[in-house]
Amino acid sequence: MSYHAPVRDIRFSLEEIAALDSVRATGAFPEFSGDLTGAILEEAAKLCNDVIAPLNWPSDQQGCTLKDGEVKTPDGFPEAYAKFVEGGWQGLQFGTEHGGMGLPRALGCALMEMLQSASMSFGLGPMLSFGAIEALIAHGSDEQRTLYLPKIISGEWSATMNLTEPQAGSDVGALRTKAEPNADGSWAVSGQKIYITWGEHDCAENIIHLVLARTPDSPAGTKGISLFLVPKFLPDENGNPGKRNGVKAIGLEHKMGIHGSPTCTMEYANATGWLIGEENRGMAAMFTMMNSARLNVGVQGVGIAERAYQQAFEFAKERRQGRAPGGEGPAPHAIIDHPDVRRTLGLMKAKIEAARAICFHAAVEGDLAEHHGDEKEAAWSRRREELLIPVAKAWSTDLGVEIASLGVQIHGGMGFIEETGAAQHYRDARIAPIYEGTNGIQAIDLSGRKLSMEGGLAFAELIEDIRQTVEDCETSSNPALPELAARLKPAADALEEATGWMISAGMEDRLAGSTAFLKLTGDVTGGWLLCVGAVAAQRRLKEAEGDAAFSENRIALAGIYAETVLAAAPGLLGEIRMGAAPLFEPGLAMLESA
């Protein structure tokens, strides 16, 4: 049940596939270098491997407790969080003017993956603070940024997102929490929020809640929502935690998984808060938080998949059962020698690398969108990032569930027994396709706003890039790469055909095909990026750069993915083009019965 951060795979994905060097070329990060990338990844790996990962299983068994409005997290969490703060990890991707390290967000994504692999329950705390920091940077006042950002970026204070309410679910426009103006310019916030991750805990000295609420006479729906900053303790004149505010945890969810993460019901009773940004403009600030969270949840899918894969791989090497075809020595043989087990493990690994590449590609393009000096290039990167965010979130988290399930399968009956730990990964992974916008919502976003951006330009650019990689593979001297091209080309054709159909389809038909369309987009984009990695690996082989066995492995993984996922991709066209009519035919009347 141990975890070892896959530093080499992460670095290859960052540098050779996602082109992290392009961020360095902007000049926005003068201290950033390849050597620093290596050092950051190695130090983050030590924290995650040695300090956080050992807490994963015990924290699942112990869980959290709530008493008199105070939450106690599992044993070891406060000490591990103190180590996280000591290393300055919360501020890795934020500016030095606020006390951060001033490094690219792509490195922050790499850190986030390791944290989520080590312990999803622990990693959720820093993940929520990441989103709140970005919201304050983008929408907070100078006074708010000066007072709160240094403390949150250091990790001394944590932060939350308070969006959901019992009657609203994903329909944010249905929320009822209210905010009344106070004479001093602050607001009195009252209401109840549910599913608040790390809403109360004993790891940081203060918790800063970012709360969506309605002001008096605000318009109905999402147009009438504002965002407020509500601290657990009101800062005193020196900026230290002072008087307790009117906010407390009144419930602690008993969940299927992530037992070590305190998921709270929060009650606000005339709690003092301050408006972030403009009144009735809370949705803009919320989407800043949500975009950060959606990418990080996608990375969370990669992280839990990696943890499940590593455990399954180690188990397969040790578990002896049956006689493998062609196996040497007396039976029973290790199950990793059985072809179907090797096929499963190979596919697990290939899909993890595809998801990792999608998430890191989105992160690098986000850095370029913000820092590239050429407006045209920055706009290109912004389109690519926006296109990839729903794919990264939905495709990668669905993958996390799939890989965790396959991990249980590799363990056989032992996987269904809690003591092995394989079941925990599956239980933990299952929430990721639900929160931060269900994956169905991500599919609607992709097939709606993202597909329609500038007349479909973002998808046209993606398909153009894929076709360039097809050409790169076709002309390679390595005979394995033209075989990749033979699978990638028809998959790209299918994506282009699906894109054209979705653009011309009516709204109901487009919505009916949206989930299959997102899957096709993720399948093809992941395969394309693995082929980009194969081209880079072949260059390294040709130039005798790095470990030859590792480069050969990258090409082999792309081959496994091409012969399984890419080969099947065109088959999704039927589901995409099925339309809505069959879903409402009389033969499906049972869907309407009680």
* Joined tokens for residue 256: 């299927």
Sequence-distant contacts of 326-333: CB under 8 A, at least 24 apart: none
Tell me the chain's radius of gyration from C-alpha atoms. 24
* Joined tokens for residue 122: 């622990």
Strands (E), 156-293: 157-162, 178-181, 187-197, 206-214, 225-231, 233-235, 241-244, 247-252, 263-276
* CA–CA distances in Å: residue 109 to residues 15, 357, 523: 13, 11, 21
Burial of residue 177, with CB atoms counted within 10 A of its CB: 0-12 exposed, 13-18 middle, 19 or more buried: buried
Secondary structure tally for the chain: helices H, strands E: 21, 11
Q: Which residues are catalytic?
A: 436
Other CB atoms within a 10 A radius of the CB of residue 451 amount to 20
Write the DSSP string, 235-268. E-TTSSEEEEPSEEEEEE---SS-TTS-EEEEEE
- Pairing between β-strand 187-197 and β-strand 263-276 as defined by DSSP bridges: antiparallel
CB-based contacts of 481, cutoff 8 Å, min separation 6: 472, 473, 474, 531, 534, 535, 538, 555
Q: Considering Cα of 329, then 332, then 335, then 338, what sign does the dihedral take? A: positive
Inter-residue contact 288 to 462 (CB < 8 Å): no
30 φ, ψ (degrees, to nearest 5):
-60, -25
* Joined tokens for residue 363: 């992160």
With CA atoms as reference, report the closest residue to 461 among 451, 472, 448, 471: 451
Cα gap 205→24, rounded to integer Å: 36
Other CB atoms within a 10 A radius of the CB of residue 154 amount to 17
Cα-Cα-Cα-Cα torsion 492, 493, 496, 498, nearest 10 degrees, comes to -110
3-state class (DSSP) for residue 434: coil
**235 beta partners:** 241
With CA atoms as reference, report the closest residue to 288 among 137, 160, 108: 137
Mark out the alpha helices in 319-338 (DSSP H runs).
Answer: none
* Terminal CA-CA length for the chain: 44
Peptide bond into 216 cis (omega under 30): no
Inter-residue contact 490 to 317 (CB < 8 Å): no
